[in-house]
Amino acid sequence: MLNSNDTSEYLKISTDGLEARSDVLSFESVRCTFPIDDGAWYYEVELVTNGVLQIGWATKYSKFLNYDGFGIGDDEFSLAYDGCRQLIWHNAQSSKHSHTCWRPGDVLGCYLDVDNKVAVFSLNGNSLPSMSQIFHKARKGFFAAASFMTFQQCIFNFGSKPFKFPPSTSFSSFNEKGVLSDRERLVLPRHKKIEILRRMSVKEDGCQLCYDNHAHVTLRPCGHDGFCSKCAMQLETCPMCRKQIELVENTNNLNAAAIASSATDTTSVETQSETLTAVDATTDTSTTSIHDVSNTAATSGSSGSGSTPDSHIHIRSQLKHMKSSSAAARPSSSDCNLNSDDQTIT
């Protein structure tokens, strides 16, 4: 069946995953759910409309650029049959074929032999010569795929019912080999998908492309980040600035270094705090000594006979010296935190 999770955003897919239609002014594309890596395979498409559709084969590397008009057959990883314009498309290059223009009700047959590197298209059982250009870049992982212009519609048969024009050689059908869970078979309408997306929570550090994985790489030389390694490895140019990507840098190592540096800074701060505590203790001791000297001076003054101007000068000199020592020992306001409410050092 068609993969409702591997399609451009505006393509409509039926609940059984076998019929698709486009009602928008863009080139909408879709791939099926099951890739093939070897052997010979076949599926059919019945035309509901006779406009521009490009139907054939594509790998996961084929790009869906619906607003730019790029679909199946417009890159090196896909091959498509166009029955309206009577063309075969590959790598955005077209070649004329001998079939007449298709009409509603016509049946397109798509055959692919991976082992022998052969692709064949047929219209109502009339086959074109075999072709192999899709195998120039791709070797495996082929999906049945199609692109739709405005108001185009068709029905796919992957083997759920008998084929109308099966090839004479042996082949496999997708329904014979492919197995899907109930969840994978579920096709939701667009408005239901949007509703589910609105309820989803997106990770703050999630990848900007898939929103599933942690963003931990930086693209060089442009320096843009916010992507996971899985998505970054599929990019050729930066999605932000379109510059060519020369290097994908893992920033996890840089973050680890930053965390280690932060831990070192924290240890340093704790050490400074212990030093400040020791300085405060020293200051308190100095203050006590000052009070002791003051008391001694007062006692000496009250005795009368032992009090001389020289002794008072000497005591004041000692007080001045000890206050200077206390001021030098006490840390400045720039070296500690001052609580403005209770004026205490914390």
Instruction: Please report the pLDDT score of residue 339 as a whole number.
Output: 40
Average pLDDT, stretch 290-300? 43
148 and 53 Cβ atoms separated by less than 8 Å: yes
DSSP one-letter code for 66:
G
| Encoded tokens for 275 | 């030093």
How far apart CA 288 and CA 293 sit, in angstroms, is 9
Q: Which of 150, 51, 68 is nearest to 104 (CA)?
A: 51
Instruction: Please report the pLDDT score of residue 28 as a whole number.
Output: 97
The pTM assigned to this predicted structure is 0.59
Q: What percent of the chain has pLDDT over 90?
A: 56
Q: Which CATH superfamily is domain 2-196 in?
A: SPRY domain (2.60.120.920)
Strand partners, 155: 19, 46
| Encoded tokens for 156 | 């796919």
How far apart CA 273 and CA 275 sit, in angstroms, is 5
Instruction: Please report the pLDDT score of residue 319 as a whole number.
Output: 45
How far apart CA 138 and CA 117 sit, in angstroms, is 10
How far apart CA 171 and CA 114 sit, in angstroms, is 11
Q: What percent of the chain has pLDDT over 70?
A: 71
Average pLDDT, stretch 244-273? 63
Average pLDDT, stretch 159-186? 90
> Among the residues of the chain, which ranges form H helices?
174-177, 182-185, 190-199, 229-232, 252-302, 309-329
How far apart CA 210 and CA 1 sit, in angstroms, is 23
Question: Considering only 122-126, 252-256, 257-261, which range has the smallest mean pLDDT?
Answer: 257-261
Instruction: Please report the pLDDT score of residue 343 as a whole number.
Output: 37
- For residue range 43-93, what is the model confidence (pLDDT) as tens digits? 999 999 999 999 999 999 999 999 999 999 999 999 999 999 999 999 999
How far apart CA 92 and CA 75 sit, in angstroms, is 6
Question: CA of 83: how far to CAs of 57, 73, 104, 207, 257, in Å?
Answer: 15, 13, 11, 40, 59
Average pLDDT, stretch 169-186? 87
Q: Which of 342, 329, 222 is nearest to 286 (CA)?
A: 329
Question: Considering only 30-34, 104-108, 179-183, which range has the smallest mean pLDDT?
Answer: 179-183
| Encoded tokens for 60 | 């996961």
Cα of 192 vs its chain's centroid, Å:
23
Question: Considering only 10-14, 109-113, 153-157, which range has the smallest mean pLDDT?
Answer: 10-14
Tell me whether strands 40-47 and 28-32 are parallel, antiparallel or unpaired: unpaired
Strand partners, 57: 79, 144
Per-residue pLDDT band at 265 (split at 50, 70, 90): low
Instruction: Please report the pLDDT score of residue 333 as a whole number.
Output: 40
- For residue range 132-148, what is the model confidence (pLDDT) as tens digits? 999 999 999 999 999 99
Instruction: Please report the pLDDT score of residue 334 as a whole number.
Output: 40
The amino acid occupying position 197 is: L
